[in-house]
Every structure is written in structure tokens, then in C-alpha cells.
Structure 1
Amino acid sequence: MADLRQDWEPVVVRKKAPTSGAKKDEKAVNAARRAGGPIETIKKFNAGSNKAATSATGLNTKKLDDETDVLAHEKVPTELKRKIMQARLDKKMTQAQLAQLINEKPQIVQEYESGKAIPNQQIISKLERVLGTKLRGAGAKK
């Protein structure tokens, strides 16, 4: 009868050991020291750091200091937030129910009604569709 045991030897696969250029350079520097020859080194500034060149030298600070524009995000106009709130109350909905119908978080509706949100035309069109009224443009009722 034939022998059913298998005679397999384990095979171990290993990655090749990483070779870094630093070890070769270190060996070359040590060999040059032993030989008494000149050693040339180069200092790399900000090598391996995550700092931008402009932040290290401060080239943009003058531009920032000279900036006089008041930069602010556009907010929801008072007229729009009143229209949203009035249309929602006419439909007897809460902010959470309205948010669910437009597939947004309740916080979004709250921000639009308080005037803190940055206007997004897609959200405004969803509100118009669900509330059944025009909130912007020439067709908006006052």
C-alpha cells in the first residue's frame, strides 16, 4: 500500500531587508575619516519637516498685514429666513419634520431659519419643493 503522508518542507518567504542610503553614506564618511581625506557635508534646511517654505521665512506676513478687505461668508437673508419659517408654520411642521422631508439634518433647517447658514441653492430648492412655495427669485411671494 502506498504511503499517504506528504513530505512537504516549510517555505519561508521574507521581504528583502531595506537598504538605506544613509548607511552607505555613513560608511563612506567613516572611510574618508580613516583615510584623512576631505569630508564634504551639505546641510539641508527644513529637510523632513512639514513646514512650508513661506511660513519658515515669513514672506506672506506683509501681504496679510496689508490686507484691508473684510472677508465673511454670505449669510441667509432676513427675508428668506422669514419665508421659510412662515411656510413651515403654515404646513404645521416642526423643523425636524421639514429636515426629514428634505433629507437634511434638523440643524440645517434651524441654521436657515436663524440666518446663520451659508445659502446653498440645492437646499433652498428642496425647501421650495417640500413647502410648495417660491422662496427666491421673481416668483417669490412677500
Structure 2
Amino acid sequence: MSGHIAQDWEPVVIRKKAPTAAARKDEKAVNAARRAGAEIETVRKAAAGSNKAASSSTSLNTRKLDEETENLSHEKVPTELKKAIIQGRTEKKLTQAQLAQLINEKPQIIQEYESGKAIPNQQIITKLERALGVKLRGKK
């Protein structure tokens, strides 16, 4: 046995899928009409290949949203909680970044809680209570 490896260097040509019989038939008819000198008019369908069922239900959803009068918004951090976090942090002489590191969260989260922009998360509030030694929830 020899240790030679043969390589096949023949070019490989990849082509698009061949047109279907119906498409070829239409194409032949169009070409024949062109040769005969007939005027050919092409029509482009506006919503071809779209999901019409989904588009009709959209108008229903939009109407429901327009009729909705209730003001929906996320729950924000209450003022008492903001003040308690700030007070507890300053008593321990911690910066927002140091407190965030203590509870394994990003400094941005502490900043959001203290500014009142955060959406309250019970797990984070529990971590803050442990780190600051202050009760932040329930009766004080």
C-alpha cells in the first residue's frame, strides 16, 4: 500500500432549483406571445404570500387597544422604601457601588431603587435588608 492520497479537484457547480413544469409552461406561453408581437401585461399581486388571517385580526386588536381606557404602568418603588434604602446605606457609610457589590447586583440597580425608577423585586429587597440590617418591607 502506498501512502498517497488522491484529491478530486473537479469543479462543483451549484445551481438554483429547476423551474417547475407549470412555470416553464407559463414562460413558454409568454415567450410565444412576445414572438407573435402580442402586448404582454404583467400583474403584481399586492399581498401575495402574506398571511391574511393575521392582518385581519390586527384591526380587532387595535380597536380593543383604542377602546381601553385604563392607564397601565409598572409598579414603582414607593417613596418610603427609597428613603429607607438611602438612610440604611448612609448609616453603614456605603456607596451605591459598594452596596451593589455586597448584594451581588449591578450598581445601576441600587441607583434605580434609590431614584424610584426600579420595578420592585422581592429577592433584591431581601438582599438589601440583609446587607443593610434594616427592615424594608412590612410593618416597621
Q: State the TM-score, normalized to the length of structure 1.
A: 0.70
How far residue 74 of structure 1 moved from its aligned partner, in angstroms, is 0.4
What is the aligned partner in structure 1 of residue 6 from structure 2? 8
Unaligned runs of 5+ in 1: 35-40
Provide the residue aligned with 1:101 in structure 2. Answer: 102
- In structure 1, the residue matched to 2:37 is none
Q: For residue 125 of structure 1, report the CA deviation from its aligned partner.
A: 1.1
The residue number in structure 1 matching 2:17 is 19
Tell me what 1:30 maps to. Answer: 27
1:53 to 52, 55, 59: 55
- Offset of 1:9 from its aligned partner? 4.0
| Paired residues of 1:54 and 1:60 also in contact (CA < 8 A) | no
1:65-86 per-residue CA deviation (whole Å, 9 max, x = no partner) reads: 2111011110001111111111
Q: What's 1:73 paired with?
A: 74
Q: What residue identity is the alignment partner of 1:6?
A: H
Structure 2 residue ranges without an equivalent (≥5): 33-42
TM superposition outliers: structure 1 runs of 4+ over 3 Å: 11-18, 31-34
Following superposition, the deviation at residue 121 of structure 1 comes to 1.0
Shift in CA distance, 46/96, structure 1 to aligned 2, threshold 3 Å: farther
Distance verdict in 2 for CA 1:85–1:6, change over 3 Å? same
**AA paired with 1:125?**
T
SS in 1 for 2:60: coil
Q: Quick check: which one's helix share is greater?
A: 2
Note the aligned Cα RMSD (angstroms). Answer: 3.4
Taking the aligned partners of 2:104 and 2:13, their CA distance within structure 1 comes to 50
Q: Structure 2 vs 1, CA of residues 46 and 133 (structure 1 numbering), >3 Å: closer, same or farther?
A: farther
CA contact (8 A) 1:87 1:131 kept: yes
Q: Report how far residue 62 of structure 1 moved.
A: 2.0
1:85–1:113 contact (8 Å) kept in structure 2: yes
